[in-house]
């Protein structure tokens, strides 16, 4: 027994490979856990709800690009708080790309709403000079409204690109987190 205690520490060299494998396993497992946790934090809470928000917003942008919309359409309860909800969702995310795309989309929605012309009121009974003046002013407003609608459509198209970027980034984060 005394002889076995006197052996040098390097006499058990076959055990070193096992300990090295154990250390590598612990390090790679810890690394994978840290990376997955980081992606979970970047994804943030309520990923499904965020996806639903972005899909609904994409549908709203398609409506803006297909038909001219006046300010009264934007004031409806379903569309009134869309930009604020996107900004709130962006604040809960930790991924800079997703955050930037969502805030750009919310800013674009505010810009579209600011560009939207007010609905025109129709006057029923006019005659003579007043009717001619009213029709001339109405035609001028209609031409200005067309320019605003074109600008709204351009902003909506760029916002659609940002929505696609946000959805693609959300998909990438989910693939990293859940492996889908």
* pTM score, whole prediction: 0.67
Looking at the chain, list the stretches that DSSP marks H as alpha helix, in order from N- to C-terminal side: 2-5, 13-43, 47-66, 71-74, 77-80, 82-91, 96-115, 129-178
Residue 73 within a domain? yes
User: Tens of pLDDT along 38-60?
Assistant: 666 666 667 788 888 899 999 99
Print the domain residue range for 98: 44-178
The reported pLDDT for the residue numbered 108 is 93
Residue 117: per-residue pLDDT: 84
Which tens digit of pLDDT belongs to each residue from 53-88? 899 999 999 998 888 888 888 888 778 788 898 998
Q: How many domains does the chain have?
A: 1
């Amino acid at each position: 027994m005394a002889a076995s205690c006197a052996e040098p520490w390097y006499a058990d060299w076959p055990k070193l490979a096992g300990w090295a494998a154990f250390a590598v396993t612990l390090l790679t497992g810890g690394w994978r856990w840290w990376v997955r946790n980081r992606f979970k934090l970047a994804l943030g809470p309520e990923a499904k709800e965020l996806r639903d928000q972005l899909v609904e917003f994409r549908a709203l942008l398609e409506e803006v690009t297909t038909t001219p919309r006046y300010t009264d359409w934007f004031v409806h309860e379903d569309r009134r708080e869309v930009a604020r909800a996107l900004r709130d969702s962006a604040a809960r995310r930790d991924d800079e790309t997703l955050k930037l795309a969502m805030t750009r989309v919310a800013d674009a929605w505010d810009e579209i709403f600011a560009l939207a012309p007010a609905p025109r009121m129709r006057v029923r009974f006019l005659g003579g000079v007043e009717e001619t003046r009213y029709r001339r002013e109405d035609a001028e407003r209609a031409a200005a409204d067309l320019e605003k609608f074109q600008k709204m459509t351009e902003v909506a198209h760029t916002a659609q690109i940002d929505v696609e970027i946000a959805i693609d980034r959300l998909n990438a984060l989910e693939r990293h987190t859940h492996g889908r």
